Amino acid sequence: MSNSNERSRTFETKQLSRRGFMAYSWGLGLTSTVLSGVLWAKVTDDKVPQVTKEMLQQAERLAALEFTDDERELMVEGLNKYLEKYRKLREVSLDNSVAPAVQFNPVPAGMTFEKKAGRLRVSKRQRRKVPSDLEDLAFWPVTDLARLIKSRKVSSTELTNMYLDRLKRYDPKLKCVVTLTEELALKQAKRADEEIAAGHYRGPLHGIPWGAKDLLAVKGYRTTWGAMPYKDQVFDSDATVVKRLEAARAVLVAKLTLGALAWGDVWFGGKTRNPWDPDNGSSGSSAGPASATAAALVGFSIGSETHGSIVSPCTVCGTTGLRPTFGRVSRHGAMALSWSMDKIGPICRTVEDCALVLAAIGGPDGKDSTVVDMPFSWDASVDAKGLKVGYIKSAFEEKRSDEQWKANDQATLDVLRGLGLKLIPIELPDYPIDAMGLILNVEAAAAFDEITRSGKDELMVRQIKNAWPNRFREARMVPAVEYVQANRLRTLVMNAMQEKLTGIDAYVCPSWVGRNLLLTNLTGHPAVVLPNGLRKEGTPSSISFVGRLFGEEKVLALAKAYQDATSFHLKHPTL
């Protein structure tokens, strides 16, 4: 955090100095250079700061460029004109919900899809006796809970009260709840029961209690984004995902934590805990949804992923998560972090639960223009033996510090082969994927431009090198040309992935090894993450399955086949 002298400055003075500094940095960025931090004093000395040749020469180092003195002379006048342009642009307030006019499309040129009508065929499960203690239902998957509700053996109101009680009991230990939506939940549960009693059953999510990552707007309730500057923020409309789950008659019981502005597991109320090991965090940024689902405080939850925010917390909490294809689910009403990478998806107890939730939330809404009208089908009886499956050979062979996790991953391959699948070794495209991560940072800095320029970033809890306040500032130093170049390289990676996956329905890879996680978030491919064993300390490990663009049906079928052949998803933490 800033020192006491800085905190004593007036907000207006702080805002003026930030604005002056950022005006320089973006002016130089558009000419493939940036303003060095050593120029801070020079920038804030004058009310109307001017770019000089001396400033430009120092700033060239940050962009790894070198101009001649004559070239600098030619540039100075134009850079100062840019400052006035920035001032005019900033006179227009840009809300976080306003997306850039330039949109990302993950589909390579020439790629085609079958657009068969969507259908939903749920698995036939053995009938289970209703336990005498209703709380014994807490860990049941949606597929089983739905049968009880449909047959009216258990009411939605009973389930809702049970989960609300667990949320109140365990949240003090796990810190996974921002806001209980108890009044709304009981109203929705009552309506769900009344409709079922009248013969109007709407499907497998009818009456199922769920929790929303607190970057989804819910009318009348706080939507805090996990960050102190937004802790009292309230929207007057619902996010599309919230509306669709209400239409499916799911029951919203809580708004769940996320790491501040979707990074990590630390929010303004503390650190969200891992139910398997409450001394440690639940990873992030979908920290609350994964923790609450693992601890059976909800029937299912909704998370989001930009770079691992579903895969990572599902891994440490032992839950099953689906990161859909970019453009499959509307993000309207959700906090924007990276317009070209953000994706919303379910966190559940089984693969099939994820499929049922995706069927309810996917598809265009006329509000998020990146969403593609692509039908989704789910048939639980599909035989995975007919799938062509690859695996990232080098990632499975890579040396690791956690040998037990590596052994669990190798055992996963054995299970798949035991199912009759012939695994095809493949490798990911060889490009500097880590370097392309600047795309995320730059878009995030733009999404939260106002809190950086105003100084409100100092209100954020985490003020360390690897946290958003610092990353937002760093990203202001990235030349605009380099951001565009990174996206051009992204096109090459997308085309290369299309070639790699030709003839393959899906592939399996370690969740945290190699470049797969960032690469597939950049290319927009869907992924399913699920537990594949326990580590030496008794906490879960996970495996990831990645599918073709809009190929959720097949990658979910593959993941379900693996999950049905194992029992790791049935293991629960003891609170």
Whether 322 and 362 have beta carbons less than 8 Å apart is answered as no
> H-helix or E-strand containing 452?
helix 449-454
| Strand, helix or coil for residue 54 | helix
Amino acid of residue 20: G
Residues 6+ apart with CB under 8 A from 234: 220, 221, 222, 223
Distances (CA, A) of 224 to 112, 141, 178, 259, 363: 40, 29, 8, 11, 26
DSSP per residue over 142-154, as a string? HHHHHHHHHTTSS
Task: Kindly give the residue spans of alpha helices, DSSP state H, lying in 198-257.
Answer: 240-247
Q: Which residue has the tokens 């108890």?
A: 182
For 282, how many CA atoms within 13 A lie in the half-sphere containing its CB? Answer: 37
Is residue 540 in a domain? yes
> What pTM was estimated for this model as a whole?
0.91
Is 237 a known active-site residue?
A: no
Cα–Cα distance, 182 to 172 (Å, whole number): 17
Active site (annotated) includes residue 309? yes
Is residue 86 domain-resident? no
DSSP state of 418: H
213, part of any domain:
yes
Position 212 in a domain:
yes
List per-residue pLDDT tens for the chain, 575 residues long: 444 334 333 344 444 444 444 444 444 444 433 443 333 334 444 455 588 999 999 988 888 889 999 999 999 999 899 888 988 999 999 999 999 999 999 999 999 998 887 889 999 877 788 999 999 999 999 999 999 999 999 999 999 999 999 999 999 999 999 999 999 999 999 999 999 999 999 999 999 999 999 999 999 999 999 999 999 999 999 999 999 999 999 999 999 999 999 999 999 999 999 999 999 999 999 999 999 999 999 999 999 999 999 999 999 999 999 999 999 999 999 999 999 999 999 999 999 999 999 999 999 999 999 999 999 999 999 999 999 999 999 999 999 999 999 999 999 999 999 999 999 999 999 999 999 999 999 999 999 999 999 999 999 999 999 999 999 999 998 999 999 999 999 999 999 999 999 999 999 999 999 999 999 999 999 999 999 999 999 999 999 999 999 999 999 999 999 999 999 999 999 98
Please tell me which residue in 282, 285, 304, 542 is annotated as part of the active site.
Answer: 285
Q: Is-contact 207 192, C-beta < 8 A? A: yes
The SS3 of residue 507 is: strand
Residue given tokens 């589909």 in the structure block: 107
Residue 451 lies in a domain: no
- Type and span of the H or E element at 391: strand 389-392
Given 156, 286, 291, 309, which residue is catalytic?
Answer: 309
Q: Is residue 132 part of a domain?
A: no
Q: Provide the sign of the torsion angle of the four alpha carbons 347, 352, 355, 360, taken in this order.
A: negative
Q: Which of 14, 42, 175, 213 is catalytic?
A: 213
Tokens of 215: 């970057």
Alpha-carbon distance 570 to 294, whole Å? 10
Is 151 designated active site?
no
Look up tokens 């430009």; give the residue: 56
Q: Which residues pair with 274 in a beta bridge?
A: 277
Is residue 516 exposed (0-12), middle (13-18) or buried (19+ Cβ within 10 Å)? buried
Burial 526-544 (b: 16+ CB within 10 A, else e): bbbbbbbbbbeeebbbbbb
Question: Which of 350, 357, 245 lies closest to 562, judged by CA?
Answer: 350
Lookup result for tokens 């976080």? 96
CATH number at residue 550: 3.90.1300.10
pLDDT in the model for residue 23: 40
Q: Where are the alpha helices (DSSP H) in 204-239?
A: none
Let me know if residue 423 belongs to a domain. yes
Is residue 523, in this structure, part of any structural domain at all?
Answer: yes
Domain residues for the domain of 248 are 139-377+385-431+488-570
178 in helix, strand or coil? strand
Domain count, the chain: 1
Q: What is the DSSP letter of 275?
A: T
Instruction: Report the C-alpha gap between 87 and 134 in whole angstroms.
Output: 61
Tokens 């650190």 belong to residue: 271
Q: Which amino acid is at 464?
A: I
Three-state SS letters, 260-273: CCCCCCEECCEECE
CB 269, CB 281: distance < 8 Å: no
For residue 206, the model assigns a pLDDT of: 98
Tell which residue, 310, 317, 320, has the closest CA to residue 517. 310
Q: Which of 58, 50, 51, 53 lies closest to 71, judged by CA? A: 53
Please list the residues that pair with 541 across neighbouring strands: 533
